[in-house]
Structure 1
C-alpha cells in the first residue's frame, strides 16, 4: 500500500513538474531571427483576435476526455474499470505535459515570426526597421513564437489520444445499429482538432506549416504515450484478475 501511494505521488508530482517547466519556458525570450526588408510582406497579415480563444482550447482538452471517461465508467462492465481509468488519466496527462514542454521549447529555439508580426512590431502600420519596434514588448516576443502552433499540438495530443482510447475500448466495426453514425461520432474529436488547428491559420496567428507541424507533434506524442499505457494496462489487468481468482479460491477453501 505504501509503495502504491508513493507511486501515485511520484506520477502526479512529475506531471506538475512538467507544467511548471512549461510555464517557465513560456517566459523565455525566443531566438531573434533576422528579417530582411524584402521579407516583411510575409509577416504583414492583419492582427485580429483568435477565432478560438485559449480558454476554449482548454475546455476541449479537458472536457472531451472527461466526457468520454465518464460515459465509459457508467457503461463499462469490466472489473478493472477503476484501474483502467486511473491509468488513462495518467496517460493523457503525461501526453499533455510532454507536449507542453516540447512545444514551448521549440517555440523558443526556432523563434519564427508569426504572420501578423509586423503589426505587433508597428501597431500603427508605419515602419521598416524591424530591429526597432514600437509595439508592446510582450506582444513582440509572442509574435516570434510561431512554430509550432500550440493550439494544434495540444488539440491533436488530446483528441488523438481519446480517439485511440475509444477504438481500443469499444468495437466500432459491428455496432448493433447506425453503424455510420457511431463511427462518425467516434471520429468527432479528430475533426474538432482539425478545426481548432486550421482556425490558427485563418486568423493569421500561424503559418500553415506551424499548424501541420503542431499536428504531427501532438499526434506522435499521443501515439507513443497511448501505446505505452495500453501495454501497461494489459499487464495491470492480468495481475488484478489473477489476484481476484486467488482470493476467490481462498474463500472457497475456507468454506
Structure 2
C-alpha cells in the first residue's frame, strides 16, 4: 500500500511540474485572417472568477470536503485510504492542467478580446501581411504577460481545472451515495442532486468565461470535457463502477472486505461442522 501510494504521489508531482513548466512557455504566433477579426473584437473585461481563486475552490475546496467527510462519517476511512483519495484528486487536477497547457501552446488561438488588448489605440499592424491577413504585431505598450495570455484561448483553463477538481468531488459523492447502484436505499434522487452540485459550480465558472469575453463557447466546452473526463478516469482507477453494489468502497477496501467475508464464512462453516475445515486439508486418495 505504501509503495503504491508513493507511486501515485510521484505521478501527481510529475504532472504538476509539467503543468507549471508549460505555463511559462510561449504560445504559437498564428496567422490571423482579417475577415475574422470581428470575432476577436469583444471588450476587455475583468474576470468574474480571478485566476488566483481557481485552485482555492477547485482544489482546496474538495480537499476540505474530503477531510470533513472523513472526520464526520460514523466509520472513518483508513488513513492510507484517505491519503490515496487526496492524491487521486491532485493527480486528476495536475494532469488536467498539463493536458490543457499542452493544447493551448501549439494551437495559439486568439481570445475574443484579442483586438482590444493587442491594439488598444485601434491601429492594426501585421507582419508578412497579404491581402487576406498576416501575423499580428501588438502595440509596444502591451505587456509581455498580456501578449501571451491573449493567444491562449483554446481550451479554457478555468473550465478544465474547475471540472477536474469539482468533477472529482462529484464522482466521489455519487459513489458514496450509491446513486446508480441497485443496492441503494431510498432517497437516491436527493443524493444524486447533492452530488452534482460541485459540477454545477464548474459549469457556472465556464459560463462566466464566455460572458466575460475571455473564451469562446467551444473553448469552455472543451475545457469542461477535459476536466470531467480526466477526473472520472482517475476516479475509476481507485473506485469500482458507480453501478457496483458496493461502489462506496475503493478497489483495495473492496478486496479486503471480500476477503474478510470469505474468512467469516469459512469460520461459520467450521463452527457448524468441526471436521469440515480439516477434511478440506486432508490429501485425497
1:145 and 2:152 matched: yes
Residue number among 43, 47, 60 corresponding to 1:46 in the alignment = 43
Residue of structure 2 equivalent to 1:167: 174
Shift of 1:9: 4.1
Given the superposition, is the C-alpha separation of residues 79 and 59 from structure 1 closer, same or farther in structure 2, using an over 3 Å criterion? closer
Residue number among 94, 98, 101 corresponding to 1:101 in the alignment = 98
Question: Superposition RMSD on alpha carbons, in Å?
Answer: 2.6
Residue number among 230, 252, 256 corresponding to 1:239 in the alignment = 256
Given the superposition, is the C-alpha separation of residues 122 and 98 from structure 1 closer, same or farther in structure 2, using an over 3 Å criterion? same
Shift of 1:180: 6.0
Structure 2 unaligned regions, length at least 5: 127-134, 241-248, 268-285
Shift of 1:16: 2.2
Shift of 1:126: 3.0
Worse-superposed segment, 218-227 or 121-130: 121-130
Deviations for 1:6-34, whole angstroms, at most 9, x for unmatched residues? 55444333322221211111121212211
Structure 1 unaligned regions, length at least 5: 250-255
TM-score by length of 2: 0.75
User: Contact 2:59/2:93 (CA < 8 Å) preserved in 1?
Assistant: no
Larger radius of gyration: 2
Given the superposition, is the C-alpha separation of residues 244 and 72 from structure 1 closer, same or farther in structure 2, using an over 3 Å criterion? farther
Given the superposition, is the C-alpha separation of residues 240 and 73 from structure 1 closer, same or farther in structure 2, using an over 3 Å criterion? same
Residue number among 222, 226, 246 corresponding to 1:217 in the alignment = 226
Residue of structure 1 equivalent to 2:193: 184
- Name the SS of the counterpart of 1:147 in structure 2: coil
Residue of structure 2 equivalent to 1:89: 86
Deviations for 1:70-118, whole angstroms, at most 9, x for unmatched residues? 2321233446443332221121111111111110010001111100111
Rounded Cα–Cα distance in structure 2 between residues aligned with 1:187 and 1:24: 33
Shift of 1:160: 1.5
**Larger relative contact order, structure 1 or 2 (CA cutoff 8 Å, min sep 6):** 1
Residue of structure 1 equivalent to 2:26: 29
User: Contact 2:174/2:192 (CA < 8 Å) preserved in 1?
Assistant: no
Shift of 1:237: 4.6
Rounded Cα–Cα distance in structure 2 between residues aligned with 1:234 and 1:78: 18
Residue of structure 2 equivalent to 1:133: 138
1:205 and 2:210 matched: no
TM-score by length of 1: 0.84
Shift of 1:181: 5.5
1:229 and 2:226 matched: no
Rounded Cα–Cα distance in structure 1 between residues aligned with 2:189 and 2:96: 32
User: Contact 2:28/2:108 (CA < 8 Å) preserved in 1?
Assistant: yes
Residue of structure 2 equivalent to 1:253: none
Worse-superposed segment, 13-22 or 229-238: 229-238
Worse-superposed segment, 237-246 or 63-72: 237-246
